[in-house]
Amino acid sequence: MNNKIIIIGAGISGATLAERYANKGYKVVIIEKRHHIGGNCYDFINSDGLLVPLYGPHLFHTNDEGVWKYVNRFSEWVPYEHRVLSFVDRRYVPVPVNIKTVNMLFNLNLDEKGMVQWLEENTEKIANPQNSEESALARVGKVLYQKMFKNYTKKQWDLYPNELAPEVMNRIPVRTNFDDRYFTDKYQALPKDGYTKLFKNLLNHKNIEIRLNTDYFDIKDSLGTYAKLFYTGQIDRFFDYKFSNIEKLQYRSIRFEFETLNQEYYQPTTTVNYPNDYDFTRITEHKRATGQIHPKTTIIREYSSWEGEPYYPVPNPKNQKLYEEYRKETEKLKDIYFVGRLANYKYFNMDQAFRNALDLFDMIERK
């Protein structure tokens, strides 16, 4: 029996499958194009001694007991509840929208009952939102939509919310209380020594070989036979873009601009969103999340772009249709599995990525 497992990509999906198969006695080879493991979670200590995420902030949050237990096997976790402010009308207001957001922007003094009423009066009655604009109008109403969501989304996606599926905006809840946390999941934490360390621990197994700086498509003919192959890259690239003659499957990228400042802190919270000002979408001061004590601080400005590494699948009907053509091709293949955000063309959170990889392993191995 062939006991070789090939995994393309060392992000959450690839590393989780590698760990599972290595522990089952398989020999695992991971092929990774980049110079590091961890996918977009990769972080490192910069020349000033500050821990920074190379691909922007990754805030772990989950209600999934199984995933939480799993990730705790590979790192200690430090509780961290993310808070985001949005710079609107020259002041910082909480996102997701809560009572304070409305009180600040409209100079009101609502309590919980007043907030429910305010939403009742200001939101639009759209039973079944068909796009992200409708979903925002139904949940926060026109004025907040225009102040906080419309232009941010245009900057982030180069599309207006009415050109994006409702799921995009549905990621942001609306609160009728004063809870200003970005997430409300039971477990919210960061790995104590960073994500890269977590991935090192995940992949620390004698049965796992990692080939960095290696593009699978350059070496695939020399890989020999294998029991199974897991592909976590872009699905269209796997099929040599064969359905993309006219339209391409779109991926949104981000250019991260790092700046280290000679001051202890820069901004009032870890992330500040800029819906209406500047070319960047947001600034993250990671030190506020890690709690690192340091006389300097590194900030990361995010500029969305069509050029560069693919980060976000772009959920709209055109892309979904094209993706579906590629997906059908995957069904014709034997012992090859497509897993993760880029291969499934889906906007997964980190915990969902762990969950999908764990479930896929269980599903295959239970057979």
Q: Per CB under 6 A, which region of 166-174, 195-203, 221-229, 321-329 contacts ligand UDP?
A: 166-174
Binder among 168, 229, 299, 322 for ligand UDP (CB under 6 A): 168
Residue the block writes with tokens 């209600």: 63
Q: Per rule CB under 6 A, is residue 129 in the interface with ligand UDP? A: no
Q: Per rule CB under 6 A, is residue 152 in the interface with ligand UDP? A: yes
Least distance from ligand UDP to the Cβ atom of residue 148, Å:
5
Q: Per CB under 6 A, which region of 35-43, 169-177, 217-225, 258-266 contacts ligand UDP?
A: 169-177
Q: Is 74 helix (H, G, I), strand (E, B) or coil?
A: coil
Subset of residues 85 to 114 that bind ligand UDP, contact rule: CB under 6 A: 86, 95
Judge residue 206's burial from the number of C-beta atoms within 10 Å of its C-beta, 0-12 exposed, 13-18 middle, 19 or more buried. Answer: exposed
Which tokens hold the place of 198? 């977590």
Q: Per CB under 6 A, which region of 98-106, 148-156, 322-330, 337-345 contacts ligand UDP?
A: 148-156
Q: Per rule CB under 6 A, is residue 284 in the interface with ligand UDP? A: no
The footprint of ligand UDP on this chain (CB under 6 A) covers a number of residues equal to: 13
Length of the chain: 367
Least distance from ligand UDP to the Cβ atom of residue 136, Å:
8
Binder among 62, 75, 101, 156 for ligand UDP (CB under 6 A): 156
CA atoms within 13 A on the CB side of 56: 18
Q: Per rule CB under 6 A, is residue 169 in the interface with ligand UDP? A: yes
Q: Is 134 helix (H, G, I), strand (E, B) or coil?
A: helix
Residue 212: which of 26, 354, 46, 8 has the closest Cα?
8
Phi, psi of 323 (to 5 degrees): -55, -40
3-state secondary structure 255-276: EEEEEEECCCCCCCCCEEECCC
d(CA 179, CA 209): 45
Q: Per rule CB under 6 A, is residue 304 in the interface with ligand UDP? A: no
Q: Per rule CB under 6 A, is residue 10 in the interface with ligand UDP? A: no
Least distance from ligand UDP to the Cβ atom of residue 254, Å:
8
Q: Per CB under 6 A, which region of 164-172, 231-239, 283-291, 326-334 contacts ligand UDP?
A: 164-172
Nearer to ligand UDP, 244 or 253 (CB): 253
Q: Is 211 helix (H, G, I), strand (E, B) or coil?
A: strand
Q: Per rule CB under 6 A, is residue 353 in the interface with ligand UDP? A: no
> Taking each helix axis from N to C terminus, what angle separates 112-122 and 99-106, rounded to the nearest 10 degrees?
70
- The DSSP-derived string for 21-55 is HHHTT-EEEEE-SSSSSSGGG-EEE-TTS-EEETT
Q: Per rule CB under 6 A, is residue 53 in the interface with ligand UDP? A: no
Nearer to ligand UDP, 131 or 156 (CB): 156
Least distance from ligand UDP to the Cβ atom of residue 150, Å:
7
CB atoms within 10 A of CB 248: 13
d(CA 11, CA 34): 11
Residue 281: which of 56, 39, 52, 44 has the closest Cα?
56
Binder among 87, 118, 149, 280 for ligand UDP (CB under 6 A): 149
Nearer to ligand UDP, 22 or 148 (CB): 148
Cβ contact 340:348 at 8 Å: yes
Q: Per rule CB under 6 A, is residue 350 in the interface with ligand UDP? A: no
Nearer to ligand UDP, 129 or 275 (CB): 275
Which tokens hold the place of 68? 């939480």
Nearer to ligand UDP, 131 or 298 (CB): 131
Give every CB contact of residue 364 below 8 A, 6+ residues apart in sequence.
228, 337
Least distance from ligand UDP to the Cβ atom of residue 57, Å:
7
Q: Per rule CB under 6 A, is residue 172 in the interface with ligand UDP? A: yes
For binding to ligand UDP (CB under 6 A), which residues are involved? Answer: 86, 95, 148-149, 152-153, 156, 168-169, 171-172, 273, 275
